């Protein structure tokens, strides 16, 4: 069973990535043959006007993967743009993909509306799911772990795969989505944790910095004074940190203390912050070990690219033959 997933390189990763994606990847790599890659061409679909940061973002992201324990000895870690066969398959799939399928893609329509500061009326952006399909099926991956926001793309991938097989014979297995649970990880301002909101706690933040951010994080806004009662159900700090890190006893203590104004928000936060710091500590330590060798990321990506190429090239021979190109 082969598992594949990719991430667009956005630079250093934060707790939202950890709980939403990396925890799943860590588990999967112990059970399956995994391919995890940096989707740098996908980053270009939105950042084509200013691509300078992409290479550094790949490096930072891969450093974080390695720091949390994604293991290059058992998992193939690579960079999309180093495997040119993805682009070849993208061209071939583009021949058979109806425009209407791409135009009705809900993620496409949503992003056109949201990212208004960028002109996304490009061929590349419309074809985003075609490239994503090539990424997946070129390795004949059967399982693709993604968050719910990516589910429409995966549905399209299955449709494109079926259409290919219909025209040219049964070359590809239909990829199945593994919908990964994405726990609610909120940033310091109470919105979803995101680098672009400037509200994130990064895996590489020094402990003092992470602690400072958590102590400054928004709580139940109705609780203005220490003597006001609060409601953990309306508190972003509680919903993120106590929900993810605290044991039942601490949770009970918080619920009671908050509702009765028996504890202050600082006491409440200090009861869980050490748990978060304990998670981050070994990650940071591993990262500084890795950073001591500036060539290590390149070396791991090169190794991964060798294995990925072998698999992709094998598939492309079948594809070219099936389409009468070879």
Residue 42 binds which of ligand SF4, ligand TRP, none (CB < 5-8 A, kind-dependent): ligand TRP
Examine residue 232 and tell whether it contacts ligand SF4 (CB under 6 A): yes
Q: Give the CA radius of gyration of the chain.
A: 22
Examine residue 20 and tell whether it contacts ligand TRP (CB under 6 A): no
Give CA separation, 173 vs 2, 73, 204, 280, in Å. Answer: 11, 26, 38, 39
- In angstroms, what is the minimal distance from the CB of 241 to ligand SF4? 9
Examine residue 272 and tell whether it contacts ligand SF4 (CB under 6 A): no
- In angstroms, what is the minimal distance from the CB of 183 to ligand SF4? 17
Tokens representing 72?
A: 């290059």
Examine residue 132 and tell whether it contacts ligand TRP (CB under 6 A): yes
Cβ distance to ligand TRP smaller for residue 7 or 203: 7
Determine which residue in the list 150, 161, 188, 199 makes contact with ligand TRP, applying CB under 6 A.
150
- In angstroms, what is the minimal distance from the CB of 276 to ligand SF4? 14
Q: Is 224 helix (H, G, I), strand (E, B) or coil?
A: coil
Q: Is 243 helix (H, G, I), strand (E, B) or coil?
A: helix
Examine residue 67 and tell whether it contacts ligand TRP (CB under 6 A): no
Q: Is the CB of residue 284 less than 8 Å from the CB of residue 206?
A: yes
- Residue 156's CB is within 10 A of a number of other CB atoms, namely 22
Question: Which residues in the 289-308 window bind ligand TRP by CB under 6 A?
Answer: none
- In angstroms, what is the minimal distance from the CB of 261 to ligand SF4? 9
Q: Is 115 helix (H, G, I), strand (E, B) or coil?
A: coil
| Half-sphere exposure for 113 (CA within 13 Å, toward CB) | 6
* Residue from 80, 78, 16, 97 nearest 45 by CA: 80
Please report, as ranges, the residues that interact with ligand SF4 according to CB under 6 A. Answer: 219-220, 223, 230, 232, 235, 237-238, 254, 258, 263, 265, 268-269
């Amino acid at each position: 069973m082969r598992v594949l997933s990719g991430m667009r390189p956005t630079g250093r990763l934060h707790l939202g990535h950890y709980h939403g994606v990396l925890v799943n990847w860590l588990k999967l790599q112990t059970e399956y043959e995994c391919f995890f890659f940096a989707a740098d061409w996908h980053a270009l679909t939105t950042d084509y006007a200013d691509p300078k940061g992409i290479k550094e973002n790949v490096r930072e992201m891969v450093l974080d993967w390695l720091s949390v324990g994604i293991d290059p000895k058992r998992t193939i870690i690579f960079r999309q743009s180093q495997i040119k066969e993805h682009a070849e398959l993208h061209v071939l799939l583009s021949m058979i993909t109806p425009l209407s399928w791409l135009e009705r893609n809900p993620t496409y329509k949503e992003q056109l509306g949201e990212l208004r500061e960028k002109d996304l009326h490009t061929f590349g952006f419309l074809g985003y799911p075609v490239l994503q399909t090539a990424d997946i099926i070129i390795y004949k991956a059967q399982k693709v772990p993604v968050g719910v926001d990516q589910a429409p793309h995966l549905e399209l991938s299955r449709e494109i795969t079926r259409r290919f097989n219909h025209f040219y014979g049964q070359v590809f297995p239909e990829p199945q989505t593994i919908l990964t649970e994405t726990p609610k990880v909120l940033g310091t301002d109470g919105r979803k944790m995101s680098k672009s909101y400037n509200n994130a706690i990064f895996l590489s933040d020094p402990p003092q910095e992470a602690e400072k951010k958590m102590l400054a994080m928004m709580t139940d806004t109705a609780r203005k004074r220490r003597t006001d009662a609060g409601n953990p159900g309306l508190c972003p700090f509680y919903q993120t940190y106590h929900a993810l890190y605290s044991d039942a006893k601490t949770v009970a203590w918080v619920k009671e203390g908050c509702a009765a104004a028996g504890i202050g928000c600082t006491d409440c936060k200090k009861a869980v912050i050490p748990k978060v710091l304990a998670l981050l500590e070994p990650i940071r330590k591993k990262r500084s070990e890795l950073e001591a060798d500036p060539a290590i990321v390149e070396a791991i990506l090169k190794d991964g690219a060798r294995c990925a190429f072998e698999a992709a090239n094998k598939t492309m021979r079948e594809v070219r033959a099936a389409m009468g190109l070879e």
